[in-house]
Structure 1
Amino acid sequence: MIQKEWMTVTNQRNIANRIYELTVRGGMVASMEPGQFVHIRTGDSFEPLLRRPISIAAINPEKSEFTMLYRVEGRGTEVLAAKRAGDKIDVLGPLGNGFPIGEAKQKAVLIGGGIGVPPLYELACQLNARGVETVHVLGFETAEAVFYEKEFSVLGETHITTVDGTHGIKGFVTHVMNELPTDFDVYYSCGPSPMLKAVEELYVDKKGFLSYEQRMGCGIGACFACVCKTNDERDYVKVCSDGPVFPAKVVVAG
């Protein structure tokens, strides 16, 4: 059920170049699933006007807390980055459909690119808790942009790629994927559309689920700002309400 709640900031820190880790507390946490997102009003007034969609990176039901990782890119996220412990933020969520964790039985490959990495962390945590082995392939632009490498490494085999080769393997996530064994049940991926298209094409014979990044207005399916074309009978879907997670080969990735 979608809720609107003023949640309390418990911690915020800068963890990489323009990447912030924000943890908040509130009752909404009890109904969250990996792969869902929240829509945040970053300011205390009508400026900035639109909410910002941010994925859920970690869920802690015992503390009624959840964590978000986001990149500071404009006015809205600049305002959000100034929040400190004790501040309140207006949160709408949890939104969208998350990852189907039940599809993984023994082994899963998780592929993330840039700010598409965060939602895969809670997914990896929950898969590990179910006894599923996880392999992580995480791509970034450069060493300064890398985050959560240690956190993922605790959960399973982790490969880091950077476009400029300043950390890990030089190149893209597909360079690692080409070398991985294919003895896994399912793959999950989140990142920019070109990366998702490449992942989908490389793992064409494997079951997969992709989480799409798309600009949004309302976050609840009313404004049609996040519409994408599909390969099935629906013709078009709304990423915010029909997704953001879809089975592979459904959405026409750019």
Structure 2
Amino acid sequence: MINKQMMTIVAKDDIAKDTIEMKLLGSVNLNSAEPGQFVHINVGNSTSNMLRRPISIADVNKDQQTITIIFKVIGSGTDQLRKCVIGDDLDVLVPCGKGYPIDNLPATRALLIGGGIGVPPLYYLAKQLHEKGVEVTSILGFQTKDNVFYHSEFEEFGSCHIVTDDGSYGFKGYVTDVLDNENIDFDYFFSCGPTGMLKAVSNKLEHKKGYISIEQRMGCGIGACYACVVPTNDQSGGFKKICKDGPVFRVNEVVL
């Protein structure tokens, strides 16, 4: 159930180039929060940045009633959010969308593949899978070493391969290159990142079971405005709403 509430910034750090980590404290019950869900934050006022910004949930502390978000500053909205300080209150819809369905997943080994700002939701997923006794391997792609974050955090849950476009940190190339060079066994894969990366991963692993999470600009964030629809990959000719039916989908469920 989506809740609208004021959440207070209780921690804030720059963790990579133009990349901010924030911890938000609220009163909402977070027991139902799933890996892969997002928050929809009001970052503007009546005259600027009127649309909320969807930001993935990177971690949840249910005992402390806090969520951690990580966002990259790429426009006026996220720049305004970056200027917020500890103690500021944010108008937040939480938790939004559907996450990765892992409660009854018949998997003992999982592969997580993330690119750029698609990495944060995979951290909470890795944490939850690890707690369930699932062996986790991660492949994370970034532009350069200046953009890399959470390497050691992911290593707490299993093997973690870092890829950069220029080879300044870890492997040089694409996340799919690691699949070619490393013998990784897994039952399911989970991926989040740019559309081009998701296409490449889905094609590479077309015979594997998995889930993808789509990054998308949104309007309402609750499925009312039809601003973030994506066509389904079946004969119905229908559409799915990324903000409500997703952002997580079965691989090949929708057309990328």
Q: TM-score, normalised by structure 2?
A: 0.95
In the TM superposition, 1:22-61 aligns within 5 A as 22-28=22-28, 29-43=30-44, 46-61=47-62
Aligned amino acid, residue 242 of structure 1: D
Establish whether residue 249 from structure 1 lines up as the match of residue 252 from structure 2. Answer: yes
The answer for unaligned runs of 5 or more in structure 2 is: none
Match of 1:156 in 2: 158
Kindly state the Cα deviation for residue 215 of structure 1 after the two structures are TM-superposed. 1.3
Q: Which runs of 4+ in 1 moved over 6 A?
A: none
Match of 2:169 in 1: 167
CA distance in 1, matches of 2:51, 2:9: 20
8 Å Cα contact 1:30-1:64 kept in structure 2:
no
Match of 1:181 in 2: 183
Establish whether residue 116 from structure 1 lines up as the match of residue 118 from structure 2. Answer: yes
CA distance in 2, matches of 1:80, 1:30: 26
Aligned amino acid, residue 75 of structure 1: S
8 Å Cα contact 1:161-1:171 kept in structure 2:
yes
Kindly state the Cα deviation for residue 45 of structure 1 after the two structures are TM-superposed. 5.2
CA distance in 1, matches of 2:173, 2:183: 19
- Percent identity over the alignment is 51
Greater mean alpha carbon deviation, residues 115-124 or residues 98-107: 98-107
CA distance in 2, matches of 1:64, 1:44: 27
Match of 1:20 in 2: 20
- Provide, for residues 135-180 of structure 1, a one-character-per-residue CA deviation record: whole Å limited to 9, x for no partner: 0000001111111111001111000000111110000000001233
CA distance in 2, matches of 1:104, 1:11: 36
Match of 1:235 in 2: 238
What SS does structure 2 have at the residue aligned with 1:103?
coil
What SS does structure 1 have at the residue aligned with 2:31?
helix
Aligned amino acid, residue 126 of structure 2: A
CA distance in 2, matches of 1:126, 1:24: 20
Match of 1:190 in 2: 192
What SS does structure 2 have at the residue aligned with 1:175?
helix
Kindly state the Cα deviation for residue 182 of structure 1 after the two structures are TM-superposed. 4.8
Determine which structure has the larger helix proportion and give its number. Answer: 1
Kindly state the Cα deviation for residue 183 of structure 1 after the two structures are TM-superposed. 2.7
Over the aligned positions, Cα root-mean-square deviation in angstroms equals 1.3
Pair 35,93 (structure 1): closer, same or farther in 2 beyond 3 Å: same
CA distance in 1, matches of 2:237, 2:91: 33
Match of 2:5 in 1: 5
Pair 8,44 (structure 1): closer, same or farther in 2 beyond 3 Å: farther
What SS does structure 1 have at the residue aligned with 2:79?
helix
8 Å Cα contact 1:107-1:184 kept in structure 2:
yes
